[in-house]
Chains A and B, each alone.
Chain A
C-alpha cells in the first residue's frame, strides 16, 4: 500500500477545486443580492415599529429596551397616546392647537371606503375583461388588447390623479351627485374609488387572464361535448377552474388599493371625515401621511410620530392581504392530472 503508486485518473477533488471556489463565490453573490430585499423589509418594519412605539409612549422602543437592560428593572413607559384612543376615537385632528385627537378610525374608514368602492369597479370589469380575452377574443384582438392593458398598468399614478381631478369628478361624479341633489366638491370618496378601481383593472384582468388561459382545453372540450354553450363553459368551467388565480388577482388589487396614494390624494382629498357618504371628501391613511409630511412639525413630536403609527397600521393591513392571498392560493389550488 505505497502512496507513490496510487493511481490518478483525474477524478480527485483537486481537479475541480477552482470550479468549486467559483461556484461558492457566485452563490455568495446571489445570496447577498437576495438578502437585500429581506433586510430592507426587516429594516422598514423595525423603523416603523420603533417610531410608532414613541407615538404611544415617551421614548423609542430601542431606547426603552436599553434603559431596561441598564438598570434591570421592568418599568412601563409613560403614555402619550393611548392604544384605546388610537383605535376607538372617531376623530383625527393631530394639529389641533388645544385638543389634538388621534383616532385612526376616520382614516381607516377612508381607506376602506376607497378600497371597497374600487373593488366594485375593478373586480367585475377586470373579471369580464379576463374572460373576454381568454375565451372570446380572437388571437388578433388579444394581440392588441393585452399590450393596451399593460400600458394602462404602467401609467404613473399621479396621472390617474389628474384624470380624476379633471374628468372623473367633474364629468361623472359631479352630475351623479346632482342627480341625488348633492353638490360635489373638488374631492370625493367616490372619485377615489372609481380612479383606484380603474387603475387596478389591468391587474385583475391580466392575472385572471393568465389563470384562465392555463385551464387545460380538455376541460372546455369536456363541457362542449356535453352540449354546453360558450358562455356556460366560461362561467361554469373556466372560472371555477381558475378560481385560485382569479382570487389572487382580487386580493392583489385590494392590497394595491389600500396602499394607493397619489391618485387617491387628488381624487378623494385630505379632510378626515368619518362618513359613509361617497360624495363627501375623505382622507385615507396614505393621504394623511403625504399631507403631514408637507406641513412643518418637530421631529419627535406626537404629531410627527403619528406618521409612523399610521404607517405601521397600513403595513399590517397590506401584510394581512398578502397572508390571505397565500392562504387562498393554497386552499383553492386544483391539481390537474
Chain B
C-alpha cells in the first residue's frame, strides 16, 4: 500500500494541503483508553495514533475488545448501559467523551459498517439517502446517492432498480449497500467491524478491493479476525490480545514479518490461543 501514499499526496487540492500534507497526521488517537462492561474490563490502557487516509487493521482473538475499541470511536458504546469509558479518545485532537461533544454530530463525521449487512427495509435509494436526510443534506440527493453507490462499486448492479427493496439484494450487495449508505454523507472516518465475515469469498474479495479505493478518501479502521485479510489490505495493523491489551501497533509489513513482541509473533504464526 506504500504506492497509494504518493497518490494521495499528489492528488490533494491546495485547500486540503494543510491537513494532509504530512502523510501521517493522526485522526483518531487513544490515550490511556480503558473500557469496562460492569465489572468486566474489555480494554486495558490503550494508546494508539491512527493515521489519516490509511487502512488501519485491528486484529486479535475473539473477545479481545476489537469491536469495543471501534465502538468507542463513534460512541456507539453509549447505547450499552453497562459500558464505562475512562481515558481519552480524541478525533482531530478533541476528546469525543468531552461533555460538549454530541454523539449525533460525531457520527456524522464517522461512518460505520457492521459485521452483518443491515440494510433498512426500504428502497435502495432510501437506504443510501438515509444518512443524507438525517444530516439535513437534502440538496442533490439523487446525485449523491449515485456517487455513493459508485464509490461502493454497486452502481452498475443496481442502476435500474433503485426503487426496489434493499433486502432483495444478495448478501455481498447488501454489504456494499451499507458501505454506500455510510459514505453517502461524506464522513472522514469509516469504521468497519468484520465487514466480510458474513460473506462468501467472492463477495468478500470485492469488498477488499473496494477498501483500498476507499482509503484514498477516507480513514479506514477495519476490524478483522482474518489475518491474511489484514495483511492484504491494511497499511497499519494493531494487534489486541486477550484482556483488551493493545500489544503492538506498527506498519502492517513489520507486524507480519518482524514483530517486536513475542506474543504477536506467536499469534501471527498461530501458536496463540
Residues of B within 8 A of A223 (CB): 120, 130, 134
Residues of B within 8 A of A240 (CB): 120-122
Q: Which of A299-321 contact B (CB under 8 A)?
A: none
Q: Check A84 for interface membership: any CB of B closer than 8 A.
A: no
Q: Which of B47-80 contact A (CB under 8 A)?
A: 74, 76, 79
Q: Check A222 for interface membership: any CB of B closer than 8 A.
A: yes
Known: A227-B107, A334-B121. A222 touches B178 (CB 8 A): yes
Indicate if the CB atoms of A222 and B114 lie closer than 8 Å.
Answer: yes
Known: A335-B167, A337-B171. A225 touches B120 (CB 8 A): no
Residues of B within 8 A of A335 (CB): 167
Q: Check A232 for interface membership: any CB of B closer than 8 A.
A: yes
Known: A226-B107, A241-B121. A218 touches B74 (CB 8 A): no
Q: Check B143 for interface membership: any CB of A closer than 8 A.
A: no
Q: Check A336 for interface membership: any CB of B closer than 8 A.
A: yes
In angstroms, Cα B135 to Cα A126, docked, is 30
Indicate if the CB atoms of B118 and A216 lie closer than 8 Å.
Answer: yes
Residues of B within 8 A of A222 (CB): 114, 118-120, 178, 181
Most buried by B among A221, A225, A334, A335: A225
Q: Check A219 for interface membership: any CB of B closer than 8 A.
A: yes
Indicate if the CB atoms of A221 and B114 lie closer than 8 Å.
Answer: yes
Indicate if the CB atoms of A226 and B76 lie closer than 8 Å.
Answer: no
A-B residue pair count with CB separations less than 8 angstroms:
70
Q: Check B117 for interface membership: any CB of A closer than 8 A.
A: yes
Q: Which of A215-249 contact B (CB under 8 A)?
A: 216, 218-219, 221-229, 232, 236-237, 240-241
Known: A221-B79, A335-B167, A337-B171. A227 touches B131 (CB 8 A): yes
Residues of A within 8 A of B7 (CB): none
In angstroms, Cα B135 to Cα A225, docked, is 12
Residues of A within 8 A of B112 (CB): 225
In angstroms, Cα B174 to Cα A219, docked, is 13
In angstroms, Cα B51 to Cα A14, docked, is 75
In angstroms, Cα B171 to Cα A237, docked, is 20
Q: Check B206 for interface membership: any CB of A closer than 8 A.
A: no
Residues of A within 8 A of B114 (CB): 218, 221-222, 225
Indicate if the CB atoms of A226 and B181 lie closer than 8 Å.
Answer: yes
In angstroms, Cα B134 to Cα A22, docked, is 62
Residues of B within 8 A of A236 (CB): 130
B123 to chain A, nearest CB (A): 11
Residues of B within 8 A of A226 (CB): 107-108, 111, 130-131, 134-135, 181-182, 185
Query: Which B residue sits closest to A226, measured CB to CB?
Result: B131
A336 in complex: contacting residue of B76, B107, B167, CB < 8 Å: B167
In angstroms, Cα B79 to Cα A237, docked, is 16
Q: Check B12 for interface membership: any CB of A closer than 8 A.
A: no
In angstroms, Cα B120 to Cα A336, docked, is 10
Interface size on B, residues (CB 8 A): 29
Residues of B within 8 A of A224 (CB): 76, 79, 107
Q: Which of B88-117 contact A (CB under 8 A)?
A: 104-105, 107-108, 111-112, 114, 116-117
| Chain B 151-194 near chain A by CB (<8 Å), digits 1 or 0 | 00000000000000101000100100010011001000000000
In angstroms, Cα B67 to Cα A218, docked, is 14
B120 in complex: contacting residue of A227, A229, A241, A337, CB < 8 Å: A241
In angstroms, Cα B119 to Cα A241, docked, is 11
Residues of A within 8 A of B185 (CB): 226-227
A218 to chain B, nearest CB (A): 4
A225 in complex: contacting residue of B76, B105, B119, B121, CB < 8 Å: B76
A102 to chain B, nearest CB (A): 48
Residues of B within 8 A of A337 (CB): 116-117, 167, 171, 174
Residues of A within 8 A of B181 (CB): 222, 226
Q: Which of B199-221 contact A (CB under 8 A)?
A: none
Indicate if the CB atoms of A221 and B121 lie closer than 8 Å.
Answer: no
In angstroms, Cα B132 to Cα A226, docked, is 9
B241 to chain A, nearest CB (A): 26
Query: Which B residue sits closest to A332, measured CB to CB?
Result: B121
In angstroms, Cα B116 to Cα A225, docked, is 14
Known: A224-B76, A227-B134. A218 touches B118 (CB 8 A): yes
A131 to chain B, nearest CB (A): 17
Indicate if the CB atoms of A228 and B134 lie closer than 8 Å.
Answer: yes
In angstroms, Cα B182 to Cα A173, docked, is 52
Residues of B within 8 A of A237 (CB): 120
In angstroms, Cα B112 to Cα A227, docked, is 10
Indicate if the CB atoms of A219 and B118 lie closer than 8 Å.
Answer: yes
In angstroms, Cα B120 to Cα A240, docked, is 9
Indicate if the CB atoms of A232 and B134 lie closer than 8 Å.
Answer: yes
Indicate if the CB atoms of B104 and A221 lie closer than 8 Å.
Answer: no
Please name 17 pairs of A and B residues whose Cβ atoms are closer than 8 Å in the assembled complex, sorted by A. Answer: A218-B114, A218-B118, A221-B76, A221-B114, A222-B181, A225-B107, A225-B112, A225-B114, A226-B185, A227-B105, A227-B131, A227-B135, A227-B185, A229-B104, A240-B122, A337-B117, A337-B174
Task: Other than A225-B114, A226-B111, give 4 A-B pairs with Cβ distance below 8 A.
Answer: A219-B120, A223-B134, A228-B134, A240-B121
Interface residues of A (CB under 8 A from B): 216, 218-219, 221-229, 232, 236-237, 240-241, 334-337
The 10 closest A-B pairs by CB, nearest first: A226-B131, A225-B112, A218-B118, A227-B107, A227-B108, A334-B121, A222-B118, A228-B134, A241-B121, A227-B104
